[in-house]
Structure 1
Amino acid sequence: MPDDPRANLEKLIRKNGHDFAAISKMLGKNPAYIQQYLRRGSPKKLDEDDRRRLAEFYGVEERLLGAPDVRAARQSHDIVHDGLLRIKQLHVGASAGPGSMVDDEYSESMGFGPKWLRRLGADPANLSLIAVDGDSMEPTLGDGDDIMVDHSAASRPLRDGIYVLRMDDVLLVKRVAMGPAGALSIRSDNPQYPDWDDVSIESVNIIGRVVWTGRRL
């Protein structure tokens, strides 16, 4: 198969006699989700959970649908001269306010000690840094704070905590808790902002769990 994840997915769908709407429904998305991904490039790449489910469904390696090579991902965290691992910083901010559109471009990187990163219990290959945009998570997170996001949490059972998530193509950082019958509560720490209760888990794409924050004084 070619290296193009979109071409690979379309080939798998057509080869197995499926249609785009049915596959979208299997993923719990709106019927146009797969067609928009293939034809319009929105989203730019599949969510980790969607990609994994599709790979399992079609019995192919996940990398054919856009998953990074694990070894290459590890090598992308260059060791600098003082022994630090560099964690990439996403160009876009995760909104703690009205919302930012998703952008997968990386801009800079920041160095961290390997032992310190291991104490977080996360693989550096699954970490990225994102700037907080807005004040809805104050006093826990403030506008301009850097947050470290563990993307592997998107593939694990959800537990209460602060997450970066996507709703309707908007990237948000919010406090998330499991509610009754599998529904989610999505809350802002700033009481001036509204909370959302009984949110369907199918309507939320978990990007990762916030495991650290750095604040400017």
Structure 2
Amino acid sequence: MAEVDQRAALDRLITERREDYAGLSRLIGRNPAYIQQFIKRGSPKRLSEKDRRILARYFGVDERTFGADPDHSDEPSPDMCRIARLDLSASAGPGSVGDGERLISSVSFDRRWLRRLCGARPEDLSIIEVEGDSMSPTLFDGDEIMVNISDSAGRLRDGIYVLRNDDALVVKRLAINPATRRATVKSDNPAYPLWPDCDLSELAIVGRVVWTARKVS
């Protein structure tokens, strides 16, 4: 693939997914201007293998899109898709800072299984870790949760959500009053206080928790 095509493909994905140059630069561990310079100025001439792999997994595309050898394929089978696993935690306790989002790896899932689970596009899903015990016994410290960012403010209903509270991410259960459309935000662990009678418009909803995985002791 010609170098200009690599840049055009990356720029198109950035536009379609509403990403930004600086955020993607940080994702691959580069200075904030790195991706913009690659696309707009042609520097560097090619992405490194590591950078290409991270970006391909993040966007869920074949590495050849970003200049891998034509004989190279890092794509799962057509029946599978990759979900980004991010270096972020959503606190079930005091609150974890959500800045500095970084791709750790990706996990492959069966597309049909995902459609049955939540009907979301793979690019709207990510996997992050739970910290703390405020959501036990439903979620425990160290559990990994899949978050659907397309299932947020416009589709709120009772369930478990990741919210942004100031500069922290928290995972809580929302119970919505159908008459007033106000919410109670609570922990499943009764030792933690609830937030009663919240205005939905004032809640910074990141996405709905649709799946969880944990290590069996």
TM-score by length of 1: 0.62
Are 1:74 and 1:124, in contact at CA under 8 Å, matched by a contact in 2? no
Which residue identity is paired with 2:124?
A: N
| 1:152-171 aligned within 5 A | 152-171=150-169
Aligned to 2:5: none
| 1:155-194 aligned within 5 A | 155-179=153-177, 181-194=180-193
Rg larger in structure: 2
Task: Give how far 1:182 is off.
Answer: 2.9
One of 104, 109, 112 as aligned partner of 2:106: 109
Aligned residues: 149
Are 1:150 and 1:210, in contact at CA under 8 Å, matched by a contact in 2? yes
Segment of structure 1 superposing worse, 194-203 or 184-193: 194-203
Aligned to 1:213: 212
Secondary structure of 1:143's match?
coil
Q: Rate the CA distance shift 1:197–1:75 in 2: closer, same or farther, 3 A.
A: closer
Are 2:148 and 2:207, in contact at CA under 8 Å, matched by a contact in 1? yes
Q: Provide the identity percentage.
A: 50
What do residues 49-90 of structure 1 show as CA deviations (whole Å, max 9, x unaligned)?
Answer: xxxxxxxxxxxxxxxxxxxxxxx9998224336953110012
Aligned to 2:197: 198
Aligned to 2:142: 144
Q: 1 CA distance for matches of 2:164 and 2:106?
A: 23
Which residue identity is paired with 1:181?
A: T
Are 1:73 and 1:125, in contact at CA under 8 Å, matched by a contact in 2? no
Task: Give how far 1:184 is off.
Answer: 1.6
Which residue identity is paired with 1:197?
A: P
Secondary structure of 1:122's match?
coil
Which residue identity is paired with 1:200?
A: D
Which residue identity is paired with 2:199?
A: S
Secondary structure of 1:115's match?
helix
Q: 2 CA distance for matches of 1:155 and 1:73?
A: 29
Q: 2 CA distance for matches of 1:140 and 1:207?
A: 19
What do residues 21-46 of structure 1 show as CA deviations (whole Å, max 9, x unaligned)?
Answer: xxxxxxxxxxxxxxxxxxxx9xx9xx
Q: 1 CA distance for matches of 2:58 and 2:86?
A: 18
Q: Rate the CA distance shift 1:196–1:159 in 2: closer, same or farther, 3 A.
A: same
- Match status 1:76 vs 2:59: yes
- Match status 1:124 vs 2:116: no
Which residue identity is paired with 1:99?
A: G
Which residue identity is paired with 1:96?
A: A
TM-score by length of 2: 0.62
